[in-house]
Each structure stands twice: as structure tokens, then as C-alpha cells.
Structure 1
Amino acid sequence: MQGDTSISQTIMLVVGVIALIFSLTAMAVIFNKFKLTDPKQTLGLPPGSVRAIIALSLILIFMLSSLFLYGELDNNQSKIFDNHGITKSQMENLTNVQILSITRLDETNENNETLYDVKTLVSMSNPASTDVAKQIITTVSTLVVAVSAFYFGAKVSGKGDDEPPDDNLSPVINKISESTFDVNRLKGDGMEVTILGKNFVSPKVEYRMKGVKPIELTDVTSSSTMIRGKLKSGDTSITGKYTIAVINSNNREHEIDDSVDIK
């Protein structure tokens, strides 16, 4: 029976991990459909998502395993005793036990006291179970601290690719996916644009040309290294060479002159 329980728990954990992988895959597909993925991140999910999932999974798996182990050690520690031929006064002196049944006997002792058969359930203390429980509490506490350090450590030790840049830095444009546009294709849903670089903080993107109102990129999603959005305009008279500018929330910006041509 114990072996069956162990196998069941193992199967449950494996199935749980497989279900988690499928859930992450489905989430990545949904994020990709809405253009929210970041190719620089694991599975394209938002920064820190995978670290958080690993941290929570470790705690959950360890807690399940610990509870199972403690339960197995604590099982079968209650014993049934048959007390044969005891008197009523002796029965009243039975403490810390659970009386399961009382059977009156057709006999008496030398003092002419009625005798009874009493079946009792006695809970036996298990020192090993108590020690394991203490070790589980200590280990879980240590694990929570270690996992917290694992999850938050990257932010403390230094910036990774998924960490937001310093607010005092200026954005840097490295690459633009589209540099030439057909003005007629900017109508309706517009054309998708991706800008790669670094130090992007809540950026907005403008296409500037002297004498023309700046055209702002719409439907913008961004990370510290990528901006994605749509260039839209219903005005067919906006042809010409444009300067692209990325403006951070701190109003610092980076321009590339005459980098975009709308024909």
C-alpha cells in the first residue's frame, strides 16, 4: 500500500510538470499572437516569468514531498490493546487511550468484582516523526530563503538582459526593421515596425520631417531592448525622408536622421 502511494505521488508530480510545460507553451503562443513576446527572453515570456515559475515549483514540490514523508512516518503509530479481565476501577484508570469496546464477562475476581474485556486504541509517540517534522520546518525555511535569493538575486547582483535600464541613460537605436514604406500601405491597420537597441524605458517613437506633424508609432509594446508597434496614417501627402526618434519617459531621446523613406 505504501509503495502504491509513493508511485501515485511520483506520477502526480510528473504529470504536474508536464501540465506546467504545456501551460507555458500555450501562454507563449497566446503572447506571440498578441505580439507581446520578446525573442531575447526564455519562451518569449515577460522578464522574470520563468524564474518565478521555477521558484514556486521548487517550493511546491518540496512541500508535497515533505508532507508525504512526514505522513508515512506518522502512519501506523496507533496500536490496539486487549485488556482482558479488568475491573471497573481499573478501566476508569485507563488514561490517554480511546476505548473501542467493552465486553462484560460472566465471572468475577476474588473480591466479587465484575470483570470486563476492554479493547483500547493507544497512540504511540514516534520520536523519528517529530525529528523529521522539525527538520522539514528548518529545511523549508532555508529553501524559501534560497529560492527568494535565486529569484531576486539577479536584480541585486547586476542587470541582466531583461532588467530595465537606468532612468538616467539615453535610448540607443541599433536596428530598424523597416526603412522604406509605401504610403498607401499605412492606411487602415498600418505596417508593423520593430526597433532593436537598448536602454528603452516606456518609450514612444516619432517619425519627424520638417514642416510635417510628427507621426507617432501606435500599438507600442516594448522591453529594454526592443520596441514593436504600427505605423499608421491616412494622409497620402506625407511622402519624404523622415528622421526616426525614440523618446524615453525621462525625455531623453535618440534620433537617426533621414533613416526612413515614405514613398
Structure 2
Amino acid sequence: MQPQERAMLAFRLTHVCKHYDNGHQALKDINLDIEAGSFVVILGPSGAGKSTLLRSLNGLESIQGGEILFDGVQVVPRNLRHVRSGVAMVFQQFNLVGRLSVMTNVLTGRLARRSWLGSLLHLFRRDDVELATRLLARVGLTERAWQRADKLSGGQQQRVGIARALAQQPKVILADEPVASLDPLATEEVMAMLAAINREDGITVILNLHQVDLAKRFADRVIGVNAGSIVFDGPPAQLDRNALAHIYQREGDAHAQPVPALLAYA
């Protein structure tokens, strides 16, 4: 890979394979280039390998074959501190510490950039607190800064998760079903927030979704995964009836038809 090409890619995946001890092949020979600054949605049925693919990008899932490069650096155990300092994660179930304040939860996003001792003791500098304060203002939670995180609504907790991710000052945000447990209004707020972060900050956003309509509205690229393989890769405008049939066909059904509920999105 040439230096200029490396600078343009967030991730390069080459012949990536992953299997579990029960013999299930979660990822099958995945080859992907993901451009820096893009907004990518991964679609697919439950159990297709979406979460495994996403979590392999920052080493939360180990792979058995192939190679993953983040910003030109191989995603392997010896490089995980470097990788995870540049790749933030937003989770479906928020992963906040409920008994801690909103501010403290956001500040935990700074731990990867502090010394081992500072991380252990949760020592935060004044500039960390100032950054967290700005981020809470950005996600509309200034007045909640010193409230316990578990007292917030689901949408508010996810906004804390986004602020925590931004506190890492990452190059990439990975989001694993970030709106799955949210009501429609909170879903719109969170998706619009991620889109604004991508657009205004130039941060690459890669997220798993089940909602086809959200993928078509927000993504600039959609990757369809089924049975561990990539079956679609293109712009949302190409996400037609046939594409949905390939993405959501049941394993072993060679004559797949799109699920009727999906036809409205084709």
C-alpha cells in the first residue's frame, strides 16, 4: 500500500475469516476497503456476521485468517492500544456506569490517552474536563452533567455514549445497533447526531443497523452481509428489491424473495 493510499483508508480487510469453537463460520473471506471520512451502514439479518465484522475492526473479536489494517497498522494484540485510541465504540446497550455521573462517564473516554497509573486512578486533567463539558453541550446534556447516568432516558444515555466516544478524539466511530432500543424520536436524534459528526468532524462512522430506511437516508455506502459473506456493497440508491433479497435471504434458499415488510424500502 502506497503512503497516499494508506492515508485515504480507515480500514483495509484482506481475506478475513472468523470461526467459533462450535464450527460456525462467522466471516468468510471478507475483502473491504473503507475510506476515511465515509458513513458506512452494515445491513443483514440476525446472525449474519454484522456484529462480528464490526467488532473485529478494533480487535474486540479476534480473527483466524487474513489481515485487518487500521490507518495502515495491523489490528493484532500488540497494536490494540494504538488501534483503540483511534477507534471509539458506541454500544446498543450504552455500556455506561450507571452509578457514576454523566460527566465521569464521558471522561472515561480519555482513559486510553492517559498513563496506566492515571487510567487506574481515574485522574482527569483540567483540559479533559473542559473537553467533556464542550461535548456534553454538543449532545445537549449540559444540565445533566452531574446526574447519575442511570437516571437518564435511553436516548439521553446513548447521547452520553456518543460524547464518551468523541472524548477519545477518534478517527473512527463504530456503532453496534446504536438505535435498536430507542423510540422513534430518540432514533432520529442519534442518527442525525452521528451524521453531523461524520460531516462536520470528518470522523469515519461505521454502524450496524436493522432499519433499511435509516440506511437509505443516512449512509453514503451500504454493505450487506449474509451468512458471513458480503452480498452487497454500494450506494444506498442501489439498495433495490433484488439487493434486499440477497441481503435478507435465508440460508439455503436459492430463490430468495425479499421479505414483504421490506418491499416498502426497495
Same fold (TM over 0.5): no
Bin for the TM-score computed over the shorter chain: under 0.3
Question: So what's the TM-score if we normalise by structure 2?
Answer: 0.23
| Structure with the higher helix share, 1 or 2 | 2
Q: Which has the higher contact order (CA 8 A, sep 6+)?
A: 2
Q: Give the structure with the larger strand fraction.
A: 1
Q: Which has the larger radius of gyration?
A: 1
